[in-house]
Amino acid sequence: MKLKFAFFCLFLGCIYTLTINPKFTPSLKAEDLLKVDLNNEIKKGKFLIGLKQYLGGKNDSFSKKKNINISTDKGFLSLISSNGIKHKSKKINISWVDIPIKNPKTIERIVFGPFASYESAAKEAEKLKDKGYETTIAYPKNWEVWIPFEDDLPEFELKNKIFRKIKNFQITPVLKSEYSVMKLEGPIYVYAQEEIKINGENFGKNFYLIKDSYGTWTLVQKIEFDDYLAGVLPYEIGPNSPLEALKAQAVIARTWGIFNSDRFNMDKYHLCITTQCQVYKPSKIKNIKVQKAIEATSNLILTYGNQPINAFYHGSNGGVSATAGESWQIQDYSYFNSIIDGSKALNKKFKLPITNESDLNNFLNFDKEQFYGSNHSLFRWSKKISSLQIKENLIKNKLININDDVLDLIPIERGYSGRVTKLEIQTNKVNQSIVLVKDDIRRVLNFIPSNLFTINKLSDDLWLLRGGGFGHGVGLSQSGAIEMAKLGFSYEQILNHYYRDVKLKKIEILSQ
């Protein structure tokens, strides 16, 4: 056993100095890696995208057996680590090893959440800051707000989760070759003149490996705005959408990305690639129509008061858009308003607000063909939901115990567009019910496509939910934009339909 441990320590401690041909040495200096400026990258027209998160940890499904293989079909790869190691070859193999820490330390914090969205987490962080607390918005699995643990915190703070963990080891990347093992430190920069394959997938040219706030690592791609959009549009609105709809999506995806570029500041990159940001996948084959839409709107963003707007968008609004304040626990933005999403004639037939279940039923029963975006598969939907389904989700979210039973669902508050903003779930516990608010309704009851629904109790343990739309309903409806484009509306008209009093502006890129 002692011999094995000695070998293990030798393996982890081996740092070999490579003799590198000068022409292979990357021009980037090791110390420059530590100065990656997220704001400056945005000014240069580049995003840092977190392609793969939590590498080297228990939830790492990408680097199988804690191993990443990086290669190119032609040419060479260059690697530079923050501890000064430089390497160039056709293939690079990086492994994750757990290095014991000489002096283990205890990590303690108070955790608020989980929150259904970054927006709601940010609102909670603002409240805590106003009370004098130092806050961090994190995303270990769901959105959370962290504050440092102190023994004399007020009682209301201690009702939240206290996180304690003894850190005994550090997940560390090592560069492995046939003859050596080199310990690396982040950020680690990997680049080439051509497409790079990582675990057999084509990803692009410029990458970082960056240590995150959870002890694991993130594979980050450095990419220009327009190349990023080429990997967003096909998966957000679809490559076969009409050109004007694609142009509208290009403008708002660029705008949203810039406005939200501080989302992962604590982990040293801008955006993720899931629905928590914008869905992004590296574009393997360039789509001519998508490229045309991006080029026609290059560097254009939507502004209000000369600043980028928070350009929310979604799949389908079910015929009526929402304000930001009825979808998340945040203050409204003045450029969002609730509108009946259809022609002027349709707007004469329905007046907002939709205040009660009866009015919403009438709205949902109206001829859907008269609305923009009615071809969406979830423009109108109905779901039968059992008390067991609800109970399972409540238990999963630690809101009830296994012995509790669900008795009733009651919408106790609706927003301007008729969406449920407070949903009461009555249980068999005396004088105790659960109230879900705004985006927490869909987070906890994740089988509901939107908050625009009515409830009809069919029996003691079965409810019928009838609703419309898919997503939060704020800003541009992608299905609505597609139909408007088919009807001959320009992308400028589409944008002005969904965002009030905004202006298109060309941003200045420092590198141009």
- The CB density around residue 432, as the number of other CB atoms within 10 Å, is 10
47 and 271 Cβ atoms separated by less than 8 Å: yes
Q: Is the peptide bond before 114 cis (omega within 30 degrees of 0)?
A: yes
Q: What is the pLDDT along the chain (512 residues), one digit of tens a residue?
A: 433 333 334 333 343 333 333 333 445 555 666 677 899 999 999 999 999 999 999 888 898 888 999 999 988 999 999 999 999 999 999 999 999 998 888 888 999 999 999 999 999 999 999 989 999 999 998 999 999 987 666 655 556 678 888 888 999 999 987 778 899 998 999 999 989 999 988 888 889 999 999 999 999 999 999 999 999 999 999 999 999 999 999 999 999 999 999 999 999 999 999 999 999 998 777 899 999 999 999 999 999 999 999 999 999 999 999 999 999 988 899 999 999 999 888 988 888 999 899 999 999 999 999 999 999 999 999 999 999 999 999 999 999 999 999 999 999 999 999 999 999 999 998 878 999 999 999 999 999 999 999 999 999 999 999 999 999 999 999 999 999 999 999 999 999 999 999 999 999 887 65
What local confidence, expressed as pLDDT, does residue 10 receive? 35
CB contact burial 361-387 (16+ within 10 A = b; e otherwise)? eebbeeebeebbbbebebbbbeeebeb
CB 56 within 8 A of CB 63: yes
What CATH architecture does domain 101-168 belong to? Answer: 2-Layer Sandwich (3.30)
pLDDT (0 to 100) of residue 65: 84
C-alpha distances out from residue 115 to 107, 136, 143, 256, 445, Å: 22, 13, 5, 20, 13
> Looking at residue 37, what is its pLDDT?
87
Dihedral sign (CA 173, 174, 177, 178): negative
User: How high is the pLDDT of residue 163?
Assistant: 85
Q: How does strand 313-314 pair with strand 476-477?
A: parallel
> What integer pLDDT is reported at residue 425 of this predicted model?
97
Supply 488's token pair.
């001959």
Residue 19 burial (C-beta neighbours within 10 Å; 0-12, 13-18, 19+): exposed
Q: What is the pLDDT of residue 511?
A: 61
- Looking at residue 135, what DSSP letter applies? -
| Residue in 382, 384, 383, 434 with CA at minimum distance from that of residue 408 | 434
pLDDT for the residue numbered 27? 54
- How far apart CA 8 and CA 2 sit, in angstroms, is 10
Q: Tell me the sheet residues that pair with 70.
A: 92, 198
Please give the full DSSP string across 142-184, using - where no structure is assigned. Answer: SEEEEEE--TT--HHHHTSEEEEEEEEEEEEEEEE-SS-EEE-
Cα(270)–Cα(277) distance, integer angstroms: 10
Whether the link from the prior residue into 353 is cis, omega within 30° of 0, is yes
Strand partners, 96: 173
Helix axes 243-259, 478-486, angle to 10 degrees: 150
3-class secondary structure per residue, 263-315: CCHHHCCCECCCCCCCCCCCCCCCCHHHHHHHHHCCCEEEEECCEECCCCEEC
Reported as half-sphere exposure (CB side, CA atoms, 13 A), residue 108 has a value of 6
> Crossing angle for the helix pair 243-259 and 491-498, nearest 10 degrees?
50
Tokens describing residue 220: 């980050």
Residue 106: predicted pLDDT: 87
- The three-class DSSP label of residue 365 is helix
Neighbours of 457 (CB within 10 A): 12
Cα-trace Rg, the chain: 26
Rounded Cα distance, 376 and 362, in Å: 20
Cβ–Cβ under 8 Å, residues 334 and 399: no
Structural domain boundaries of the chain?
2-98+170-205, 101-168, 227-319+475-506, 326-474
The residue count of the chain comes to 512
Strands (E), 452-512: 453-459, 462-467, 476-477, 503-506
Q: Is 161 left (phi over 0), alpha (psi -120 to 50) or beta?
A: beta
According to DSSP, residue 64 is labeled G
Q: Say if residues 482 and 237 touch (Cβ distance below 8 Å).
A: yes
